[in-house]
A and B are shown apart, each in its own frame.
Chain A
């Protein structure tokens, strides 16, 4: 679970690190991804695990489109830039939720018989639910891929360079808007991957994103804004803390543990665990 939190959070961290924008519609990206996965399964009978790359690709397009249609203009605001970004992405989240309700109805849906759903596997006497395990493996693979991508490809370098100095990047002929759009696409694709896996074992409904979005922000902030590795570590911590709290406190209070740990960490280190800025 922690690795999945990490996967959700890393998309958010990537976008933030790239251009200092917190995407308040991140949870809704997750929700859309879960629906895409659901419909691919229902109408085309593609198992969620196989369709995950398709979902990620769809979300990549969505992320880029959102950047080009909304965020690009929010970045131009000269006054109150922070507030404009918060509320334009937040308004977008409401629109996406409304659209989901309009097209998909507010019913709870789930994917009934996927290949991995409901199975458990026993490792040295510990029973692990298979979908979660596969999710964890996919998440690790995605992190490895992302690390490779950022450090070893031209586009990854362009991303890093743009993050360090957008002005200089423009001088050497890299189109800043294109890099940002691709960054948004990539961030959305990562959360798309997480959504595709989670569609197997979570109910899907228009407000599902909201419940994970806050945890994602906490995860990113815990790890430190702007640090992709921090989001990964933050995800693992959040997952562990949640599991531990659930043992000690009634289940309805399990999020309290996560929040308390966040507060504790930022009081001691106001920039999160691995924050650099």
Chain B
């Protein structure tokens, strides 16, 4: 069994490396800016969803308030950049650290809550953050911040002529999030988290410090999401509270993981690869009418997938593979 597990992990790593390499070559064939845009968003949401999955999937603490960390990443980066001239690279790290600290600060009271009470608390705290930013004059209030143009450069992390650098950064972030998940899956923390998810009382009695494991998961998850937020802010070159902290981000982070397979290594990537292009395409091809047909199709697909495949799309693969093996 252990041997199987090690073999599976090695196989996952190889598949991931091949996929990342193939993705890195994609821009050679894809010249269309619109398609590149979709690819960047797909990679970004895959990364975000992977990070969300660490806390909500592996550790079982369903958060629908991750937009808060996303927004904090975006705002920290841009406030530091526009007000103090700090380079976005440092802002990105600062945003990640601040988000992780806030996540742990919030975790202190939040992790006592269970089930729906916890989920609603996470929604509510993100809404409070949104309302505060909308009313915070110094940070641009509801008007937001426009990121000043300083020309193409890796130093300033700003690219005007080509979207390719953003693409490679998104790919790197996605790979990082995947790798962190892969690495954690086999670490002490990974086992603790799954134990906490399945049965916190039993885990506690076997010596797992439930509270600390939740805190660890929250910090890692928030840090990665905030880095994603910083990237998104630089990519759009304009942020306002609703567009980086709105409830829809919390959902868009959760959906790929849920559709792909919550608490699995490949779920978020698979879910994002299907969901994000689908969202963008339905929006641009049938959403143009402004009559909500795209919403109908999108919503119906979510209902259909969640009803037909409760364990996510990943279960399609494992079902066919698991026929021989007992798992």
Contact = CB atoms under 8 A, between A and B. Distances in A.
Contact of B290 (A90, A96, A106, A225): A106
Interface in B129-178: 131-132, 134-135
B303 A88 contact: yes
Nearest to A94: B299
B54 interface: no
Contacts of B300: 91, 95
A256 interface: yes
Contact of A74 (B112, B298, B306): B306
Size bracket of the A interface? 35 or more
Contacts of A93: 299
A73 interface: yes
Contact of B116 (A81, A221, A259): A221
A79 B311 contact: yes
A113 to B, nearest CB: 29
A244 interface: no
Interface in A63-119: 70, 73-74, 77-84, 87-88, 90-102, 105-106
Interface stretch (B6-14, B40-48, B120-128): B120-128
A228 B135 CA distance: 35
Interface in B290-307: 290-304, 306-307
B258 interface: yes
A260 B131 contact: no
B251 interface: yes
A102 B307 contact: no
B114 A262 contact: no
B295 to A, nearest CB: 3
B258 A255 contact: no
Interface residues of B, number: 43
Contact of B299 (A91, A218, A250): A91
Contacts of B301: 91
Nearest to A72: B307
Interface string B294-327: 1111111111101100111000000000000000
B62 interface: yes
B262 A253 contact: no
Given A74-B306, A91-B301, A263-B121, A225 B311 contact: no
Contact of B132 (A80, A106, A256): A256
Contacts of A256: 128, 131-132
Contact of A272 (B117, B258, B294, B295): B117
Contact of B294 (A22, A88, A98, A270): A98
Contacts of A22: 116
B15 interface: no
- Tell me if A's interface is mostly helix, strand, loop or mixed: helix
A73 B307 contact: yes
B109 interface: yes
A135 interface: no
B98 interface: no
Which residue of B115, B116, B131, B132 has the most chain A CB atoms within 10 A of its CB atom? B116
A44 B208 CA distance: 65
Contacts of A180: none
B291 A102 contact: yes
A77 B306 CA distance: 9
A266 interface: yes
A269 B290 CA distance: 45
A90 B252 CA distance: 12
A137 interface: no
29 contacts: A70-B307, A80-B262, A80-B312, A81-B310, A83-B62, A83-B262, A84-B310, A87-B306, A88-B302, A91-B301, A91-B302, A92-B303, A94-B299, A97-B295, A98-B294, A98-B296, A101-B292, A102-B293, A217-B123, A218-B120, A218-B124, A225-B116, A250-B135, A252-B131, A252-B135, A256-B132, A259-B125, A266-B121, A270-B112
Given A225-B117, A255-B131, 4 more contacts: A70-B307, A95-B296, A217-B120, A221-B116
Nearest 7 A/B pairs, CB to CB: A101-B292, A98-B295, A94-B299, A91-B302, A95-B299, A98-B296, A91-B303
Interface of B: 62, 109, 112-117, 120-121, 123-125, 127-128, 131-132, 134-135, 251, 255, 258, 262, 290-304, 306-307, 310-312
